[in-house]
Chains A and B, each alone.
Chain A
């Protein structure tokens, strides 16, 4: 599984969405898929799964608006480790 699939499965499983209903550009917050608790869980998951740390500066809309954005964010974090 690549990062994109891992993130998509996590979101699908925590929002009880059908995986097929999510694509890489689905706006996960604008469309109200996640509430604030869901977001905290997502950050936790990313940090544990990919062994990265997120700082306050990372938590901006651009990095989290879609699965594609989240995957790109993780890639850049891993590269800069």
Chain B
């Protein structure tokens, strides 16, 4: 695991390339504190900061092939590098190291962009072909590892994080208000944009080829759901359970490949318990597990964590994350996330990875992805209930199913079932909209746009996802069933744009810890997509196939417990914490200087939250969203406050300079 960065220029000589790349890499040195390296040619300078995990002693980067034509910098892991290496040796390749980096380089030499289909991993990398003067950038299928780029004075700048790009002289970041507004509706920015003007991400599952004559960006992997009956998995539930067991076992085994100890996160939920159980079978009684608990019982899952760790006999460590810590570390997390967050939930993950790193662990395996692939979230249930209800909109009983999701609806007992229509009836009949599952959530969230200054965002405009999402939508979506459509949206927007980034890569790498996700092995993703809906959501029983698979392998309590969404405290903790930054950022001066929000609205919100015990979900989202946007303004736009001092690039063990050969 690492961080990468580079500057490419065909039209003009690179200006002080080594100095610039060192600055860029130093900004993200936490991604790879073990060593760093630089490659320099006439057109391209690129480098890497390395967190050494596989082939610690010879896997240095940048790396070249023996003909000195191809050069690579690489962030991530190719888990099937052992198998791929054998295949390449059979084709006549020879290897100098035992690293996955060298295998990746040779796979590209052999197959070109076709190598991506063969990779099982989480990666973002750059390969320079010095003969053709061609740069190849690629990113893993679902966006576990990040890669950003921009065009600046006819140069391409790319890096694992935006903050590295922003180190380039004269490059000034500015908010893009239209994409900033997207965060306050969809919870993320629609790829390939970011909240900063002219800064883009290479979308998950895409590669980009840059030559002197042009740029070619292509999608190499699509998430498909069945459109015809014969495209569904053809076996019965028992067969599917067995197959999932085999796939997951293989996936976990591959993800245990490392030359350093690997640990697991144990949240106390079904997904991480399942993964821990699989690891335990491979390496019994030696696994270290880590978990986090909260002061408020509403969010805390420690009793379940204790139960699973005892059942599976892991060496478990609990950590508590206090409300004070959440508030204290919030600015650091926003600095790492580079996008506003509407929740504080990434902060405890940041604290947890810190503890893990303090225990000398560099790699953790977690349960992320199961909720998306096997339909664990309430939003899937909500969509199915609404669809069921919409078939008989006047039914008195169908909407009552929503009580399962929102127990407080019980307050409306009696004859007033009409009430359901008020909240869950929004666009109820539009079951043929591709966004049916998410329209209610987006609509509720988009109320946050009222806080924006009027000239920046049209808060009262009708929500129009058909236009905004047009470029990223899959043409087949209307041929998929309701659950598949909902899953696709959740994977495409929430998982890549929030879960794996703000709450994933950014908060683990901030503490130099690499996370691995067995449920996101593409073989499992593709398998899950083919399953009939009721193998995933059985009635309203979520992740049914996983529960079946784990019967007898985990405590009944864990399998049967209702799903608890991972959330963290927010609200008035910010005002009780005594942290000066909160009042500073929300002051009239602070709000007006950043120029994004209306001060009178912000004041209304802060008065309400700071004086009442209970903030609504909407108000919590507003507070986190406004505070994080304010922080991003000071960290990235004005660059005046709340940002760490730049450091020097350390341990630069590799320096490949081919400029002399070229003149």
Contact = CB atoms under 8 A, between A and B. Distances in A.
Interface of A: 13, 15-18, 21, 29-30, 32-41, 56-57, 59-61, 64
A37 B616 contact: yes
Contacts of B443: 32
Contact of B419 (A13, A33, A59): A59
B601 A38 contact: no
B422 interface: yes
A39 B422 contact: yes
Interface in B197-256: none
B604 A35 contact: no
A38 B450 contact: no
Contact of B450 (A17, A30, A59): A17
A13 B84 CA distance: 61
A21 B411 CA distance: 30
B616 A38 contact: yes
A36 B406 contact: yes
B460 A39 contact: no
Given A16-B450, A33-B447, A56 B622 contact: no
Contacts of B604: 13, 16
A16 B601 contact: yes
Contact of B622 (A16, A18, A33, A60): A16
Contacts of A16: 447-448, 450-451, 601, 604-605, 622
10 contacts: A17-B447, A32-B443, A32-B447, A33-B447, A35-B423, A35-B444, A36-B408, A36-B424, A39-B419, A61-B421
Given A16-B448, A29-B421, A39-B423, 5 more contacts: A16-B447, A18-B450, A30-B426, A34-B423, A57-B415
Interface residues of B, number: 33
B543 to A, nearest CB: 26
Shortest Cβ-Cβ A-B pairs, 6 listed: A56-B414, A29-B422, A59-B416, A32-B443, A36-B423, A16-B450
B416 A56 contact: yes
B311 interface: no
Interface string B101-136: 000000000000000000000000000000000000
Interface of A is mostly: helix
A13 B413 CA distance: 28
A59 B451 CA distance: 31
A42 to B, nearest CB: 10
Nearest to A37: B616
A6 B423 CA distance: 22
Nearest to A33: B447
B418 interface: yes
A35 B618 contact: yes
Contacts of B605: 16
Interface string B616-648: 111000100000000000000000000000000
A59 B418 contact: yes
Interface string B392-421: 000000000000001011011111101101
A36 B409 contact: yes
A15 B617 contact: no
A20 B459 CA distance: 13
A68 B324 CA distance: 45
Contacts of B418: 59-61
Given A21-B460, A38-B616, A29 B423 contact: yes
A7 to B, nearest CB: 16
Contacts of A29: 421-423, 425-426
Contacts of A59: 412, 416, 418-419
Contacts of B411: 40
Nearest to A54: B416
Contacts of B415: 56-57
Contacts of B601: 16
A60 B451 contact: no
A13 B605 CA distance: 9
B439 to A, nearest CB: 9
A66 B601 CA distance: 23
